[in-house]
Amino acid sequence: MKLGVLSKSDNEEIHNQIIVQIAELINVKNLEPGDKLPSERMLSEKLDVSRSAVREAINKLVFYGLLKSIPQSGTFVANIGVTAMNGMVEYILGLGDPDFKSLVETRILLELKIVKLASLRRTEEDLVNIKKALDAYEEKVLNGEDAVQEDLLFHLAIANTCGNSTLNGFMLKITPEIITNFKKYHVCGDELTVEAIKEHKQIYEAIKNRETQKAREIMKVHFKTLYQYCYNIK
């Protein structure tokens, strides 16, 4: 089936159509786990779309574990079974872009677990990295500069300490979108940043002292404004 040429605003639609076509190819050809897909060039020609569009669709399927990409070798069907794959494709196609509130809510849920793990697993090197991020944030705030990026880098330093690459990966995934939209939605006022320095320092000390429950409680207090934003709490 030819997809034709779509405008830039139709990127999501074209990616979804490519995903459907790849799933149909796997079904029609009875491809088994470990079987190799046609190259990006061949799929691009077959579907009459750009190679970049094919690449984006494949990357999405790789992200969700339906395909495996091996450098210099190609793209292969993952070992999950055709029934599961077809069901997952349906759910993937139904996903929209996450709204900002969903991203913030996800961040809260992740970080309350992450900070406890970081308190348990931190090394001396981890503490150095967290402190470096903390100092960079404090410097920006005290100079009256926008410190949203430094704030999130402090939290990413904690995520990198938790010893769970999946949790850390989720944080890395959602952080760019949060940075982009933080000011747009006026989540935190400038008057809260000095108080945030104090909370950051308390979080750091709790992690340093391996006080897992205290670290979680301070993080929860730190997220008070985010809770209010997500759940309309007064």
Domains of the chain, by residue range, sit at: 8-94, 100-231
Backbone CA torsion sign across 70, 74, 80, 84: positive
pLDDT at residue 189, rounded to an integer = 56
CATH number of 8-94: 1.10.10.10
Eight-state DSSP code of residue 9 = G
> Global pTM?
0.77
**Structure tokens, 63:** 């992200």
Rounded Cα distance between 204 and 192, Å, is 18
pLDDT at residue 147, rounded to an integer = 87
CB 171 within 8 A of CB 155: yes
SS3 75: strand
Eight-state DSSP code of residue 234 = -
Q: Where does the pLDDT of residue 183 fall: very low under 50, low under 70, confident under 90, or very high at 90 and above?
A: low
In terms of pLDDT, which residue wins out, 225 or 143? Answer: 143
pLDDT at residue 185, rounded to an integer = 64
Q: Where does the pLDDT of residue 7 fall: very low under 50, low under 70, confident under 90, or very high at 90 and above?
A: very low
Rounded Cα distance between 177 and 73, Å, is 32
pLDDT digits (tens, 9 = 90+) for 48-103: 999 999 999 999 999 999 999 999 999 999 998 889 999 999 999 988 777 888 88
Rounded Cα distance between 52 and 79, Å, is 25
pLDDT at residue 61, rounded to an integer = 95
For the chain, give the mean pLDDT: 88
pLDDT at 4 over 90: no
Q: Where does the pLDDT of residue 9 fall: very low under 50, low under 70, confident under 90, or very high at 90 and above?
A: very low
Helix axes 124-142, 148-159, angle to 10 degrees: 170
pLDDT at 42 over 80: yes
pLDDT at 229 over 80: no
Rounded Cα distance between 205 and 34, Å, is 48
pLDDT at residue 146, rounded to an integer = 86
pLDDT digits (tens, 9 = 90+) for 206-219: 999 999 999 999 99
Domain 100-231 in CATH 1.20.120.530: yes
Beta-carbon contacts of 142 under 8 Å, excluding residues fewer than 6 positions away, are: 197
